[in-house]
Structure 1
Amino acid sequence: MKAVVYILTFLWASLTFAQNETIFEQGNALYNDGKYAEAVDKYQTILDSGMHSSELYFNLGNAYYKLNQIAPSIYYYEKALQLNPQDKDIKNNMAYAKNMTIDAIDVVPEAGISKIVNNITNSMTYDGWAITTVLLFLAFVVLFLIYYFAEYTNRKRMAFTGSFLVLAAGILTLVLAFHSFSLDKKNNPAIVFAQESQVKSEPNLSSQEVFKLHEGTKVQILDTVNNWKKIKLADGKTGWISSEDIKKI
């Protein structure tokens, strides 16, 4: 019975994938014909089916950009970048979209060792560091076995040196994997979707307005109280914004 269920599940997944591939191609054709709203509908159909990819998010961002809808454009570029953080096309197109935002927010620069470590950590995703760590530890086991069973001194020496270096590299990538996980856990970004939103000093309408934000601005969510989100900007400013005005990435 389980075998039948597995087969049916596999067939359903294969059929869904094939259908989504067809819809994706239809969306691309509509985009190339300048029918950007219709292309968005096609791409959204794929998302509604539970499928997603950096290419799908990237194309959605492009379509919304052509429609001059900056907030969803940046939102989907950010989603694409989460899945493919080194893609230059995504970064370039997102830069164009961000140039159309109103809010000019200075980024507080990182400095020293923290900047170097974070740059190295962000060069791969958490999954990438985890897979690299597993492969390095497997390589360590193989080299140690070669060292243990080798008959010649030179081969033992080379295997021992190699296993030591691979083990050190594995420990380093393990540390970077945990650091990447920690950064991901703290990272809770969102995009402002309201054309203009008041940011308050406290989570209520009667509190003082501290500043305004406009569509497309990226924020970090720090806390939630009822229908309010405490946010932080790249320049360090904090405040409370209505949950309806932002969309979590």
Structure 2
Amino acid sequence: MKFIIHILLISLTMVGFAQNQDLFEKANAFYNAGKYAEAIDNYQAILESGYHSADLYFNLGNANYKLNNIAPSIYFYEKALLLNPNDQDIKDNMAFAKNMTIDVIDVIPEAGLAKIIKNIANAMSFDSWAVCTVVLVFVFVILFLFYYFSYSTFRKRFTFIASITALMLVCITLALAFHKYNLEKLDNPAIIFVQESRVKNTPNPNGEEAFRLHEGTKVQVVDSYNNWQKIKLTDGKTGWVMSEDVKLLKDF
């Protein structure tokens, strides 16, 4: 019985893949024919089936850009970049899309030790740092065993220093792994999805207006309350916007 269910699941997966492939090719044909709205409908149908990829988001960004849909084009380019952060075509096209935005927001540069630690932590993913930590723990155990069972003074001294070095590296990589985890946890980007959003000082429709943002602007969501999202800009400004004004990038 389990075997039959397994076969059925594989068959359904293959059918779903074939259908998505047909939709993708159909959407590309619409795009090449200049029928961008139809292309978007077919790309969206693939997303609704539960499948997503950098190429799919990239094509959605291109189709929306052709229709001057500022927020959706930037949103889908950003999603594509999350899945394929080193793709230069995505970066180039997103730069063109961002030229259509209204808001010009300064970036406060990081400096000092915090910047150095952040850059080192971002050099690898959390999983990669975790693997390094495990490998170094294994190396430490092996070196310590060599130290413990060695009779030569030179070997004892060498393996002792090497094992202590490995242990120190374990602590460093473990700290960097947790720092990377916290950075990823705090990173919650979103795109303003309305033509104009009135940012409030408090999560209240009658609250004082702090400033306004326009479609396509990227923000960081740092908190939420009821149907409000607290956002932070790269220049340090914070405020509250209605939840429907923004669309989170990490929701897949």
Q: Structure 1, residues 78-104: CA drift from partner, whole Å, max 9, x if none?
A: 111111222222222212111211011
Give the C-alpha shift of residue 213 in structure 1.
0.4
* Mapped contact 1:85–1:124 kept (Cα < 8 A): no
Going from structure 1 to structure 2, the CA distance change for 1:193 and 1:236 (only over 3 Å counts) comes to: same
Of residues 2-11 and 131-140 in structure 1, the stretch that sits farther from structure 2 once superposed is 131-140
Q: In structure 2, what is the equivalent of residue 93 of structure 1?
A: 93
User: How many angstroms apart in 1 are the aligned matches of 2:224 and 2:69?
Assistant: 27
Going from structure 1 to structure 2, the CA distance change for 1:43 and 1:129 (only over 3 Å counts) comes to: farther
User: How many angstroms apart in 2 are the aligned matches of 1:160 and 1:31?
Assistant: 65
Q: In structure 2, what is the equivalent of residue 50 of structure 1?
A: 50
Give the C-alpha shift of residue 183 in structure 1.
0.9
Give the C-alpha shift of residue 9 in structure 1.
1.2
User: How many angstroms apart in 1 are the aligned matches of 2:13 and 2:133?
Assistant: 31
Going from structure 1 to structure 2, the CA distance change for 1:208 and 1:131 (only over 3 Å counts) comes to: same
Give the C-alpha shift of residue 118 in structure 1.
2.4
Q: In structure 2, what is the equivalent of residue 154 of structure 1?
A: none
User: How many angstroms apart in 2 are the aligned matches of 1:52 and 1:224?
Assistant: 27
Q: Alpha carbon RMSD of aligned pairs, Å?
A: 3.3
Going from structure 1 to structure 2, the CA distance change for 1:233 and 1:52 (only over 3 Å counts) comes to: same
- Which secondary structure state, in structure 1, belongs to the residue aligned with residue 100 of structure 2? coil
Q: In structure 2, what is the equivalent of residue 72 of structure 1?
A: 72
Alignment of 1:146-165 (within 5 A): none
2:104 is equivalent to residue 109 of structure 1: no
Of residues 126-135 and 49-58 in structure 1, the stretch that sits farther from structure 2 once superposed is 126-135
User: How many angstroms apart in 2 are the aligned matches of 1:139 and 1:22?
Assistant: 50
Give the C-alpha shift of residue 30 in structure 1.
1.9
2:4 is equivalent to residue 9 of structure 1: no
Q: In structure 1, what is the equivalent of residue 184 of structure 2?
A: 184
- Which secondary structure state, in structure 1, belongs to the residue aligned with residue 220 of structure 2? strand
Alignment of 1:182-221 (within 5 A): 182-221=182-221
Q: Structure 1, residues 22-73: CA drift from partner, whole Å, max 9, x if none?
A: 2212222222222211111111111100011111111111111111111011
2:21 is equivalent to residue 21 of structure 1: yes
Residue identity opposite 1:81 in structure 2 = L
Aligned residues: 248
User: How many angstroms apart in 1 are the aligned matches of 2:100 and 2:175?
Assistant: 39
Larger Cα Rg: Structure 1 or Structure 2? Answer: 2
- Which secondary structure state, in structure 2, belongs to the residue aligned with residue 104 of structure 1? coil
Q: Structure 1, residues 180-230: CA drift from partner, whole Å, max 9, x if none?
A: 221111111111011011111111121111100000011111222222111
Give the C-alpha shift of residue 174 in structure 1.
4.6
Going from structure 1 to structure 2, the CA distance change for 1:19 and 1:223 (only over 3 Å counts) comes to: same
Going from structure 1 to structure 2, the CA distance change for 1:29 and 1:183 (only over 3 Å counts) comes to: same
Residue identity opposite 1:92 in structure 2 = D
User: How many angstroms apart in 1 are the aligned matches of 2:38 and 2:61?
Assistant: 14
Going from structure 1 to structure 2, the CA distance change for 1:171 and 1:62 (only over 3 Å counts) comes to: farther
Q: Structure 1, residues 142-190: CA drift from partner, whole Å, max 9, x if none?
A: 9999xxxxxxxxxxxxx99999998877765554433222111111111
User: How many angstroms apart in 1 are the aligned matches of 2:97 and 2:31?
Assistant: 17
Question: Given the two structures, how large is their TM-score scaled by the length of structure 2?
Answer: 0.81
Q: Structure 1, residues 221-241: CA drift from partner, whole Å, max 9, x if none?
A: 122222211111111101111
Residue identity opposite 1:201 in structure 2 = N
Going from structure 1 to structure 2, the CA distance change for 1:41 and 1:127 (only over 3 Å counts) comes to: farther
Structure 2 gap segments, 5+ residues each: 146-158
Structure 1 gap segments, 5+ residues each: 146-158
Question: Given the two structures, how large is their TM-score scaled by the length of structure 1?
Answer: 0.82
